[in-house]
Amino acid sequence: MEAHLLSSSASMEPLQSRYSMFTSPRCLLPLPPRSLSSSADAFHSVTLSNCFRSIPSPGFRSKPELRIRATSSSSQSQQSFAPRFIQHKQEAFWFYRFLSIIYDHIINPGHWTEDMRENALEPADLNDPNLTVVDVGGGTGFCTQGIVKYVDPKNVTILDQSPHQLAKARAKEDLKGCTIMEGDAEDLPFPTDSVDRYVSAGSIEYWPDPQRGIKEAYRVLKKGGKACLIGPVHPTFWLSSFFADMWMLFPTEDEYMEWFTKAGFTDVKIKRIGPKWYRGVRRHGLIMGCSVTGVKPMWGDSPLQMGPKAEDVRGKVNPFVFMYRFVLGVIASIYYVLVPIYMWLKDQIVPKGQPI
């Protein structure tokens, strides 16, 4: 089955009709069309010049009066058939209400290991203990534990919307000196030009509006500051693609590059990461599949202008629609608990040096 890879957008048409039974304007949030060109198995860094040759030079940023305009409803070519049942803030909140119990013991060993964390944080340039760092969507503090190896904990802030996840972070001895607070990744409670490093790991997949979250990363950084966003990559194997799009946001590498570039970042790069036992295989997608970095070139807010937020967490929610989406999302997530087990077994069975 794994030989059948999605090679073009046309090959996804059967999936579109399959998804249509689950979708409605109330439930879905549009995103840019997926490019499936990033299915190569080798780990490497992708530079901005290689991916966006058609984008004008970022030199426009020296002219403050010229600003990019974008709204959450302006992308008419965005794909809208993927349900992503756990990509709303309230759905993610309740999802982690239960996942927080087993997150560090069941989820991390299969998707987010200490070796991966070190590899993913390396491009963030955490090279000074006096740097001020925010870990957005920090959850149980697993990524923060990698940050405080290089940065004084008193200079590190962990932010997450889940009090249940943050309770796990507060209990960790090496994070005792960190500031821990609840907050929204799309509306950060930090002043403009206030931090040296922005880090976010395993959070973007739940953001209703990823572009807004990356715009916020740009805003809070100081000039010359660096953002490091660690997140999933979209699968090319048809079954994995189906369950990924049923569950939550799995961006393509092209989408990451586009979001960072539109927000105003320069020197945008992607570094691929993954568990060792995948042997570089990316066709199933990875919940922690890449580390994206960008540098803020000038003081002030992002040149990107956006409309109202895509989701108001204070708004009323239809309990039946919520439960329907939540249950289907949890079912879809089980597939990605099984995938790393499957890949680990293949790694044990297939002789080293042979493809898996």
Q: Is the pTM of this model over 0.85?
A: no
Q: pLDDT band at residue 98, thresholds of 50, 70 and 90?
A: confident
Question: CA-based angle 243:46:339, to the nearest 5?
Answer: 25
Q: Give how far Cα 19 sits from Cα of 297, 310, 351, Å.
A: 41, 21, 38
Averaged over 97-117, what is the pLDDT? 79
Residue 44 is predicted with a pLDDT of 40
Residue 87 is predicted with a pLDDT of 83
Q: pLDDT band at residue 185, thresholds of 50, 70 and 90?
A: very high
Q: Which of 160, 161, 166, 217 is nearest to 194 (CA)?
A: 217
Averaged over 153-179, what is the pLDDT? 95
The per-residue pLDDT of the chain, averaged, comes to: 80
Residue 313 is predicted with a pLDDT of 57
Q: pLDDT band at residue 109, thresholds of 50, 70 and 90?
A: confident
Residue 77, Cβ density class (10 Å: 0-12 exposed, 13-18 middle, ≥19 buried): exposed
Distance in angstroms (rounded) separating the CA atoms of residues 132 and 158: 11
pLDDT value at 10 more than 50: no
The owner of tokens 């042979």 is: 354
Distance in angstroms (rounded) separating the CA atoms of residues 160 and 103: 15
- Judge whether 263 and 218 are in contact, CB under 8 Å: yes
Q: Where are the domains of the chain?
A: 42-50+80-300+315-349
The more confidently predicted of residues 158 and 22 is 158
The more confidently predicted of residues 79 and 142 is 142
Residue 233 is predicted with a pLDDT of 97
Q: Which of 52-61, 158-167, 170-179, 194-203 has the lowest mean pLDDT?
A: 52-61
Fold adopted by 42-50+80-300+315-349: Rossmann fold (3.40.50)
Residue type, 96: Y
Distance in angstroms (rounded) separating the CA atoms of residues 174 and 168: 12
Residue 338 is predicted with a pLDDT of 93
- Judge whether 252 and 40 are in contact, CB under 8 Å: no
Averaged over 256-284, what is the pLDDT? 96
In three-state secondary structure terms, 135 is strand
